[in-house]
Amino acid sequence: MNSAAHRPGIWSIRGPISQRRYWILAAIGLITPILAWWLVASTGWVEKVFMPSPGAVWDRTLLWATEDNLLQDTGISVYRVTMGWLLSAVIAMPLGMLIGTFRPVQAVLEPLTDFIRYMPAVAFIPLVMLWIGIDEGSKIAIIFIGTFFQMVLMVAEDVRRVPMQQIEAAQTMGATRAEILQLVLLPSAKPALVDTMRITMGWAWTYLVVAELVAANSGLGYAILKAQRFLQTDKIFAGIILIGLIGLLTDQMFRFLHRKAFPWMHKKS
């Protein structure tokens, strides 16, 4: 009867953990570095130029929002990231599906993509400036280059992971190739695809600062770079934290979408 006594502890491998414990630990994980930061900054061990206090960063953020154009900077950055990522997704989804489904397409495109994805996206900046110029298109292009090639391969892999039995069952029910793509491969891979989109969105954000190196005059990445020139360390902190928060927010949005759209994955007996 005393089964509780035999419940595996939280340190057993892949052991269970209660919701409450999980969130307490998560809060500790988030608060500790902030506390450490505040401690280091307030004791004055480190010069303000190198490490501003949380309070100073907060004040700077407010100043940025009221006197400067924090909103525009955030808006334009979100726009660039979204556009670069969306462009990637729109092309990578069908292409990846074809690579994961038809061997000839895989043979033609996968080794090539594998090769290109190892080229550093940053190194394309001069080329992009030469070809596209220095307007919005070039920033979107950098983010595109940074995410697209990885995304194609991940989408292909997601589609390849659909169990062969699901495909063959449809074939023996008389499904055509188009029907299998539409009624089996796509819905079966969809949860994995949403996860891929979530992960690549994170990468798109990491390429933002790189993209805004390209003669930008607005955006969070640009603001961070400019702040460095003026030794406004607090603004650098604010910018980085802001990007982190936006990333966290989109990530949670994707997870929420995942739970809503695929109840069959989350609903166990």
Partner 1 sequence: MDAQEVVSAAPKIRVRGLGKVFGEPPAEVRALDNVSLDVLQNEFVTLVGASGCGKSTLLRIIGGLEYHTSGELLADGKPVSGPGADRAMVFQHYSLYPWLRVLGNIKFSRRLGVNRRHITSADVEVAEGRADALLRLMGLSACHNAYPNQLSGGMQQRVAIARALMNRPAILLMDEPFGALDAQTREVMHDLILHVFRLERSTIVFVTHDVEEAIYLGQRVVLMAPRPGRIDTIYQVPFGAERNQDLKHTPEFLRMKNEILGRIRQTSGMETDTEMLQQLSRTTQD
Question: What is the nearest approach in angstroms of partner 1 to the Cβ of residue 176?
Answer: 6
Residue from 24, 169, 231, 253 binding partner 1 (CB under 8 A): 169
- HEC string of 78-146? HHHHHHHHHHHHHHHHHHHHHHHHCHHHHHHHHHHHHHHHCCCHHHHHHHHHHHHCCCHHHHHHHHHHH
Residue 169 makes CB contacts below 8 A (sequence gap 6+) with none
Tokens of 25: 């630990």
Asked if 165 is part of the footprint of partner 1 (rule: CB under 8 A), the reply reads yes
Binding of partner 1 at residue 14 (CB under 8 A)?
no
Query: Taking CB under 8 A as the rule, does residue 163 contact partner 1?
Result: yes
- Least distance from partner 1 to the Cβ atom of residue 180, Å: 10
**Amino acid present at 7:** R
> Cβ of residue 36: shortest distance to partner 1, in angstroms?
43
Q: Which residue stretch of 25-33, 39-47, 178-186, 245-253 sits at the interface with partner 1 (rule: CB under 8 A)?
A: 178-186
| Cα–Cα distance for residue pair 139/144, rounded to 1 Å | 9
Question: Nearer Cβ to partner 1, position 167 or 241?
Answer: 167
d(CA 139, CA 121): 12
Question: Could you tell me the smallest distance in angstroms from the CB atom of residue 34 to partner 1?
Answer: 40
Map the footprint of partner 1 across residues 204-263, applying CB under 8 A: 262-263
d(CA 178, CA 142): 34
Out of 42, 176, 228, 252, the residue judged to bind partner 1 by CB under 8 A: 176
Look at residues 22, 42, 36, 48 and name the one whose alpha carbon lies nearest to residue 231. 48
Listed residue (105, 120, 135) closest to 210, CA to CA: 120
Q: Binding to partner 1 by residue 68, rule CB under 8 A?
A: no
Handedness of CA 140, 221, 210, 114 (dihedral sign): negative
- Which residue lies nearer to partner 1 by CB, 51 or 170? 170
User: Which residue's structure tokens are 């980085």?
Assistant: 240
Count, residues near partner 1 per rule CB under 8 A: 25
Name the one range near partner 1 by CB under 8 A: 18-26, 52-60, 168-176, 234-242. Answer: 168-176
* Residue 192 lies near partner 1 (rule: CB under 8 A): no
Q: Is 120 in the site for partner 1 (CB under 8 A)?
A: no
Can you give the binding site for partner 1, defined by CB under 8 A?
A: 163, 165-166, 168-176, 179, 183-184, 187-188, 190, 262-265, 267-269
